Amino acid sequence: MKKKIGIVDILQLQGAVIVYSLSTVAGKLASEHPFLSFKYILFFGLEFVILAVYALIWQQMIKKFQISVASANKAITLLWSMLWNFLLFSTGITPWKVVGVLLVIAGVVIMNMGTDEDNTGNANDSVDGSDAGGKENRDV
């Protein structure tokens, strides 16, 4: 787009994606405690805060990157989740499950290819809830 995208920008984008994937970790941790117990609320709150932080970073990212590029990167969330799953929860991952995850990632990437052509109402990107004011999505 206007400015050249450097390695720092790409790292930032991946950073945003990692932050997002951590929200699922917080959700998983909340699930390990009884509904509305102190720790449940704590981790639920954490998930919410992480999502809010993510929304703020994401807002900056879509200024730099085309929405299709940013969204495609967001699909990588699943790979990060697999890493967290491996490191923290170690529930069984079979080769077919990996294949399934890769197919889903491919699907997200393909779905988001070419979304930049239509700048009207890209509802996909309100995933982040951050465009409630409708100030973004006008970067085409």
Partner 1 sequence: MLMIVWMDQMQAERRTEMFNVFLLLMLLSEIIAASSQMLLKKSANKEHSSFIKEYLNPYVIIGYGLLVLSMVICIVCYGDDKLGYMGTVVMEPVNYVLVMIMSRFIFGEKITSKKVIGALLIIGGIMVFNILG
Cα–Cα distance measured from residue 38 to residue 30, given in angstroms and rounded to the nearest whole number: 10
Q: Are 101 and 79 in contact (CB under 8 A)?
A: yes
Of 2-10, 11-19, 55-63, 100-108: span binding partner 1 (CB under 8 A): 100-108
In the bound state with partner 1, the residue whose beta carbon lies nearer, of 6 and 110, is 110
Residue 134 three-state SS: coil
Cα–Cα distance measured from residue 55 to residue 140, given in angstroms and rounded to the nearest whole number: 20
In the bound state with partner 1, the residue whose beta carbon lies nearer, of 57 and 111, is 111
Cα–Cα distance measured from residue 28 to residue 35, given in angstroms and rounded to the nearest whole number: 13
Binding region for partner 1 (CB under 8 A):
24, 27-28, 30-32, 40, 44, 47-48, 75, 77-78, 81-82, 84-85, 89, 91, 93-94, 96-97, 99-114, 118, 120-121, 123-124, 126-127, 129, 131-134
